[in-house]
Amino acid sequence: MHRIAAEPLDVLRTRTSEKWRHYDADVLPLPVAEMDYPLAEPIAAALHAAIDRSDTGYAAGSRGVAEAFVPFAAERLGWQVDPARVTCTGDVAMGLVEVLRQVTEPGDGVVITPPIYPPFFDIVTEASARVVEVPMLGGIDEGWSLDLDGIEAAFAAGARAMVLCNPHNPIGLVPAREQLAALADVAARHGVTIVSDEVHGPLAQPGTGYTPFLTVSDAAREHGITVTAASKAFNLAGLKAAMVVTGSDRGDAVRRAFPYEVEWRMSQFGSIASVAAFREGGHWLDGVLASLDDNRRLLAELLADELPGVRYRIPDATYLAWLDLSALGWGDDPAAFALEHARVALGVGTMFGAEVGRGHVRLNFACTPEVLGEAVTRLADAAASAPSS
């Protein structure tokens, strides 16, 4: 399998995105979900061609992105998408908010499952709804699963929707098809909506059995709405394009009720890049997945050798590692200690859930093996020099 090599640090530090401008130059920045790989050549060529023809106006609606996504979804995700059931918008967060605004009333409960992508907390409140936390069952040692009984209890108590993270960020879980089908049945019993964030779907490792929510059953298609994008798999977050995808008349009614402006939030470059990614980016994506596979396993080896007290479960998807640093004695927020004493920036665990995130961090391993090795060495050196409690 061919591999895509990540850029070296001297090249990366010329980038002007948040990941490379927020921290001092001596810090290894590993918290932001942005990859260090060079842009896929077909995407770069499409964007350069757009500049050459001064094609910088408004994006021409959803159809082009939707039609490019259809064969990509069928081939790589096993998902038959109707392009007429796709409405684009600026990014996944925008899509989630707009769906929640349609399927909840102000003050309604919306279930999320910590440890979870931190903006989910804000997305729910932005939609004028109320966060209902149902933490994942299990943990690093035994693996995780959705707490279906807890989710059903929340629906029985009045929650009207759930934001599903499929695959799950930060733990890298690919939920089993059977559990997703059971979740759909729970939603059907209570007449609620499952809004599935599937932006990391193309980053599920081959053989993990990744399942798009709308493919699992009639109940899922009736009660589910998916929001996804090329942004994470192809490193296009700054170009602003995402899709809201439905599979039933009930879901279609939600999309049709969106304000007119929602679709116009997609950028022209986001549209152009997404089409190129879905049509011509597969070879590049395969190479990235192979490199990520190497790195997720390398991280396990590095931790075992240099920081054996740190607990880590190799993720089935994403390029994110959820690490339990409690054994190091660095407190509830070990990311702060790591930044100060190791000059390694990591995602703050408590942002993913105040209780379940204590003592944890999120690490982005979509980098060179050398950067990953340097980060672990720095953490190990900081642990060795830290005063014993």
**Per-residue pLDDT averaged across 350-360, rounded?**
98
CATH of the domain at 159: 3.40.640.10
**Per-residue pLDDT averaged across 338-351, rounded?**
98
Same domain assignment for residues 287 and 301: yes
The pLDDT, as a whole number, for residue 200 is: 98
Whether 273 maps to a domain, the answer reads yes
The answer to whether the bond into 175 is cis (omega within 30° of 0) is no
Whether 257 maps to a domain, the answer reads yes
pLDDT digit string, tens, across residues 50-103: 999 999 999 999 999 999 999 999 999 999 999 999 999 999 999 999 999 999
- Tell me which residue of 110, 86, 115 sits closest to 97, measured CA to CA: 110
Measured CA to CA, the distance from residue 68 to residue 86 in angstroms comes to: 11
Same domain assignment for residues 159 and 103: yes
Of 252, 280, 308, which closes a domain? 280
Whether 4 maps to a domain, the answer reads no
Whether 228 maps to a domain, the answer reads yes
Secondary structure of residue 257 in the 3-state scheme = coil
Whether 109 maps to a domain, the answer reads yes
CATH of the domain at 340: 3.90.1150.10
pLDDT digit string, tens, across residues 225-237: 999 999 999 999 9
Same domain assignment for residues 155 and 93: yes
Query: DSSP letters along 20-82, please?
Result: HHSS-TTSEE-SSS---SPPPHHHHHHHHHHHHTT--S----SHHHHHHHHHHIIIII-----
95 φ/ψ angles, rounded to the nearest 5 degrees? -60, -45
Same domain assignment for residues 48 and 184: yes
Secondary structure of residue 325 in the 3-state scheme = coil
Same domain assignment for residues 60 and 198: yes
Same domain assignment for residues 245 and 96: yes
Average pLDDT, the chain: 97
Measured CA to CA, the distance from residue 319 to residue 361 in angstroms comes to: 14
Q: Virtual CA dihedral for 147, 155, 227, 88, nearest 10 degrees?
A: 180
Measured CA to CA, the distance from residue 9 to residue 331 in angstroms comes to: 30
Whether 19 maps to a domain, the answer reads yes
139 φ/ψ angles, rounded to the nearest 5 degrees? 180, -165
Secondary structure of residue 358 in the 3-state scheme = coil
In contact, 363 and 30? CB cutoff 8 Å: yes
**Per-residue pLDDT averaged across 165-173, rounded?**
98
**What are the beta bridge partners of residue 360?**
324
Same domain assignment for residues 133 and 175: yes
Of 215, 245, 280, which closes a domain? 280
Q: Which long-range contacts (CB under 8 A, 24 or more apart) does 155-159 make?
A: 155/111, 155/186, 155/187, 155/189, 155/190, 155/192, 156/190, 157/109, 158/108, 158/109, 159/108, 159/109, 159/110, 159/111, 159/132, 159/192
Same domain assignment for residues 291 and 333: yes
Of 280, 312, 330, which closes a domain? 280
Measured CA to CA, the distance from residue 372 to residue 6 in angstroms comes to: 11
Whether 66 maps to a domain, the answer reads yes
The pLDDT, as a whole number, for residue 388 is: 58
The pLDDT, as a whole number, for residue 386 is: 78
Q: How many domains does the chain have?
A: 2
Same domain assignment for residues 23 and 53: no
Where in the sequence is the domain holding 150, given as residue range(s)? 43-280
pLDDT digit string, tens, across residues 112-164: 999 999 999 999 999 999 999 999 999 999 999 999 999 999 999 999 999 99
Same domain assignment for residues 233 and 344: no
The pLDDT, as a whole number, for residue 1 is: 77
Same domain assignment for residues 189 and 262: yes
- Tell me which residue of 273, 205, 279 sits closest to 234, measured CA to CA: 273
Same domain assignment for residues 49 and 198: yes
Whether 218 maps to a domain, the answer reads yes
**Per-residue pLDDT averaged across 346-362, rounded?**
98
